[in-house]
């Protein structure tokens, strides 16, 4: 069994984790969470998104949050943008890295952004051109790679087609999202097999939700194929506004515990990570969704 020696964890809690929260999270709380994640050693922290506040009210303060961040050397703070308007707002705010998103499901794309998969990708040509001119890095997301809330099973070759188009447009990394968390290890491996035919595995990331409790198993499966970038959310925060029933992202604490047990280097401090998860969980007045956080906190 061949596993990567190092894994980069992309912390999506401040964006993907909080976007579905109904109660507004104040700017100062978001900033405190980001600082705690920095202190824990996270190398990439999604700070927010420039989407319409009408559709995602929780992200309305993203520009204010980004401007208030005191960047830590070696840490990047990407922001999600849906279109050229979002890119222009990001550039005006001083963002150095953005993420764009597509889906492998026609139905999900229509529900999410009211257009087809082809149209959604075509819209990004202007975004990619503007980002290149501004010297801004672009990461690509593909949603519903292991299943769709409207269509059910998604063919791996369709995932590969969408991922390949984003890669060809200039995305330096493609994050493959099991948006509804329905995947299982063999399906995850077959999907990576298909996508790696058009995008080098070194440029792929796994973004798995834990709705059916399969996220860690799926991650372990794709680690064996050479995937070395994992998206996760502190305390298991998250969900999707357009995927009813989808639970949170896999918890960063749980991912770190598994990677530590495998002897894989991440550079992340578990104690500080637990403090970050406890902080945001207390603010949201709920128990952490991370099993590791609950176990270690009870043990302490």
Reference 17, options 232, 275, 167, 222; nearest CA is: 232
Residue 293, φ and ψ in degrees, nearest 5: -60, -45
Could you tell me if 52 and 80 are in contact, meaning their C-beta atoms sit under 8 angstroms apart?
no
Q: How far apart are CA 152 and CA 131, in angstroms?
A: 34
**Cα angle at 256 between 48 and 100, to 5 degrees?**
30
Half-sphere exposure of 159 (CA within 13 A, CB side): 31
Q: How far apart are CA 13 and CA 268, in angstroms?
A: 15
**Alpha helix stretches (DSSP H) within 170-238:** 185-195, 215-223
The CA R_g of the chain, rounded to the nearest whole Å, is 18
Show the tokens assigned to 238: 């998250």
Residue 240 designated active-site: yes
Q: How far apart are CA 71 and CA 226, in angstroms?
A: 30
The CA-atom distances, in angstroms, between 10 and each of 1, 34, 126, 134, 161 are: 24, 13, 26, 23, 24
Catalytic-labelled residue, pool 144, 148, 171, 240 = 240
- Residue 110 DSSP symbol: H
- The residues annotated as belonging to the active site are 240
């Amino acid at each position: 069994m061949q596993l990567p020696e190092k894994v980069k964890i992309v912390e999506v809690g401040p964006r993907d984790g909080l976007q579905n929260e109904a109660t507004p999270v104040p700017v100062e709380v978001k900033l405190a969470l980001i600082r705690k994640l920095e202190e824990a050693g996270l190398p990439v922290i999604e700070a927010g998104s420039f989407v319409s506040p009408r559709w995602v009210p929780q992200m309305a303060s993203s520009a204010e949050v980004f401007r208030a961040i005191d960047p830590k050397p070696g840490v990047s703070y990407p922001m999600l943008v849906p279109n050229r308007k979002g890119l222009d707002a990001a550039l005006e705010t001083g963002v150095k890295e953005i993420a764009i998103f597509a889906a492998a499901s026609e139905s999900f794309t229509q529900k999410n952004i009211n257009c087809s998969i082809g149209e959604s990708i075509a819209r990004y040509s202007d975004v990619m051109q503007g980002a290149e001119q501004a010297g801004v890095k672009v990461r690509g997301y593909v949603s519903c790679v292991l299943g769709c809330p409207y269509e059910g099973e998604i063919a791996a070759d369709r995932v590969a087609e969408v991922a390949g188009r984003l890669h060809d447009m200039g995305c330096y990394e493609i994050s493959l999202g099991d948006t509804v968390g329905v995947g299982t290890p063999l399906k995850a491996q077959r999907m990576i097999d298909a996508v790696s035919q058009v995008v080098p595995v070194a440029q792929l990331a796994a973004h798995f939700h834990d709705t059916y409790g399969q996220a860690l198993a799926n991650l372990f499966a794709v680690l064996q194929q050479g995937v070395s970038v994992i998206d996760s959310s502190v305390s298991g925060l998250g969900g999707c506004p357009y995927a009813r029933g989808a639970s949170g992202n896999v918890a960063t604490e749980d991912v770190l515990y598994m990677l530590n047990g495998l002897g894989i280097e991440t550079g992340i401090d578990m104690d500080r990570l637990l403090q970050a998860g406890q902080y945001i969980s207390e603010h949201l007045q709920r128990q952490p969704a991370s099993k590791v956080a609950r176990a270690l906190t009870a043990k302490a």
